[in-house]
Structure 1
Amino acid sequence: MRRITYLIPVLVLGVVLISSSIFVVDERQRALVLQFGQIRQVIDEPGLNFKIPFIQNVIYYEDRILSLDTAATEVTPSDDRRLVVDAFARYRIVDTEQFNRAVGGGGIRRADDLIEAILTDRIRAVLGADGVTSNTILSSERAGLMQQITLQARARAASLGVEVLDVRLKQTNLPAQNLDATFARMRAEREREAADEIARGEEAAQRIRATADRTVVELTSDAAREAEITRGEADAERTRIFAEAFGQDTEFFDFTRSLTAYERALGENSSFVISPDSEFFGYFDGSAIGGGNSLAPAGQ
């Protein structure tokens, strides 16, 4: 019984020691075994491993590809047109021991800060180089610029024990203070284009109105000429008819012309001071009609 009593603590202590000395590294991780802050073992392969309990400790790092979004960075290309860009990078830890020395206890967060500083510096250097304009950044040449940033960032980040796999520019915008100026310039350009269109429209309208006015004058002149010709032909026809009528019966023609004259001259309340033997009243007393026929009333 006493032996069992001593055995139980020994078994418990053995279980604790064994569990403290065993650790597992899975396929997504790398591990470092540290002893009093010094690296004693680098484990790059997954599996079951051992360490000295209570003396050594294990730090795990990601063996997968990591991603990093950089903060927006303002760059000034060679055409002095400032741009705000932000980037997306992918990297992985390739040297666990060197990575631990570079980041210390900060781990992945410290690594992200260091890599972001490298990316920001390289983005400004590449996009601000001579010959790189804002149009270059926004054109198909952008892929070549991103390749340059990737290569330069990879070389700088090698001292951290990481490999930068790829760098991509996500967005390229104008600074907020430039947006208003750009909008104002665009509005001025559109207003100038609108003014040009209005001026061209007014010019076209003036030409159309001038053509219409000229056409009206020509048509009016042609119509007036045709009217004068028609009126002259009608007067000539009337004169011819009068002449023929006069030639057929001269006395009747004089008679109808006198009746017309009477109709026009003798209206209501008309007064005449004229000699009784005037030729104007020749058809009233019959003196103008052969055979003594008188137009005067009976008993006169």
Structure 2
Amino acid sequence: MKSSTGIGLLIGVAVIAFVAANSIFVVDEREKALVLQFGQIRDVRETPGIGFKLPFIQDVVKYDDRILSLDTDTIEVTPSDDRRLVVDAFARYRIADVVRFRQAVGTGGLRLAEDRLQSILNSQIREVLGANQVTSDTILSSDRGELMNRIRDRARNAAASMGLDVVDVRLKQTNLPSQNLDATFARMRAERQREATDEVARGNEAAQRVRALADRTVTETISEAEREANVVRGEADAEAARVFADAYGADPAFFAFYRSMQAYQTALTQGNTRMVLTPDNEFFNYLYSSDGPASAQQ
């Protein structure tokens, strides 16, 4: 009898422990929990701690309360300048309203939610990057930050119906399709070669202008120097003539003697100098003796 009582007590304790284990659940700080009864939401636990539910009748579904990451598939977009780009992005999101999230995705959970969120992101990426006034240069410039914020805001509004909050959206890569790269590189090379040719032509033109200016400056400098030299020579000749005139006026005989000496020095140069003169020629008057030309000849 005691044995049966002990077994029954043990069974009772086991049943109580089993029921208690199925009645208590724990929610930590990284989670949110829903208490479901026959698929209907009966309680929401968004704070960490211990919760209770009806065993075997109610179930607990937990969702991650942290910021989650989603990488989108690579898609092609066509900006307003008709240059196609290959784009992929990543998003940061969190479950903001766990009740709405459950109602939107049901038992599909995060997998279904991310599939829908990826569709939303791809749609908004195409709309924003394909809008008017948005060119491929804009997407590749520093203005892409504003474009990413615009995608984020639109995706946030669209994802709010699923209870999701899109925290951030970033474009990972924006490249040209592989079939367009060769043509783009060839066009870029041609543009750079054209720019280089233009720069060389402009450089040659500038060099010609510099050389022409230098040649003109040289010509003007030489002309000015020659003009000043002619002025100086003219002034010197005038001064020499004045000096000669003054000398002649002061002593005509000495002046005649001096000029004759200069003539002798010029005419009688070193070497074989021959002169044919008449005996009475006045050129050598100052070389004659006082007896006259005949005495000088003797």
User: What's the % identity of the aligned pairs?
Assistant: 26
1:29 matched residue in structure 2: 31
2:83 matched residue in structure 1: 81
Letter of the 2:228 counterpart: A
2:52 matched residue in structure 1: 49
- C-alpha spacing 1:288/1:223, structure 2 compared with 1 (3 Å): farther
- Aligned counterparts of 2:186 and 2:195: Cα–Cα separation in 1: 14
Letter of the 1:154 counterpart: N
Letter of the 1:43 counterpart: D
1:219 matched residue in structure 2: 224
Aligned-pair Cα RMSD in Å: 4.5
2:129 matched residue in structure 1: 127
What secondary structure, in the 3-state scheme, does the structure 1 residue paired with 2:39 have? strand
Q: Matched residue pairs, number?
A: 284
Deviations 1:116-138 (A, max 9, x none): 12211221023213454446655
- C-alpha spacing 1:58/1:185, structure 2 compared with 1 (3 Å): farther
Q: Are the counterparts in 2 of residues 33 and 51 from structure 1 also a CA contact under 8 Å?
A: no
CA apart distance, 1:278: 7.0
- Aligned counterparts of 1:268 and 1:136: Cα–Cα separation in 2: 94
- C-alpha spacing 1:49/1:192, structure 2 compared with 1 (3 Å): farther
Q: Are the counterparts in 2 of residues 73 and 86 from structure 1 also a CA contact under 8 Å?
A: no
Q: Are the counterparts in 2 of residues 69 and 89 from structure 1 also a CA contact under 8 Å?
A: no
1:113 matched residue in structure 2: 115
Q: Are the counterparts in 2 of residues 42 and 97 from structure 1 also a CA contact under 8 Å?
A: no
> Which runs of 5 or more structure 1 residues have no equivalent in the other structure?
none
- Aligned counterparts of 2:208 and 2:220: Cα–Cα separation in 1: 18
- Aligned counterparts of 1:79 and 1:263: Cα–Cα separation in 2: 93
2:196 matched residue in structure 1: 191
Q: Are the counterparts in 2 of residues 147 and 167 from structure 1 also a CA contact under 8 Å?
A: no
CA apart distance, 1:220: 2.9
Partner of residue 236 from structure 1, selected from 213, 238, 241 = 241
Q: Are the counterparts in 1 of residues 129 and 147 from structure 2 also a CA contact under 8 Å?
A: no
Deviations 1:80-133 (A, max 9, x none): 2344463534342532432442x62xx324422331122112210232134544
Alignment of 1:1-300 (within 5 A): 1-2=2-3, 3-26=5-28, 28-32=30-34, 39-45=39-45, 46=47, 47-53=50-56, 57-64=59-66, 66-71=68-73, 73-83=75-85, 84=87, 86-94=89-97, 95-101=100-106, 104=108, 107-134=109-136, 143=146, 146-147=149-150, 150-151=153-154, 154-155=157-158, 158=161, 161-166=162-167, 168-170=169-171, 173-175=174-176, 177=181, 180=185, 184=189, 187-188=192-193, 191=196, 194-195=199-200, 198-199=203-204, 201-237=206-242, 239-241=244-246, 243-244=248-249, 247-249=252-254, 253-254=256-257, 257=260, 261=264, 265=268, 267=270, 283=287, 285-288=289-292
- Aligned counterparts of 2:20 and 2:101: Cα–Cα separation in 1: 26
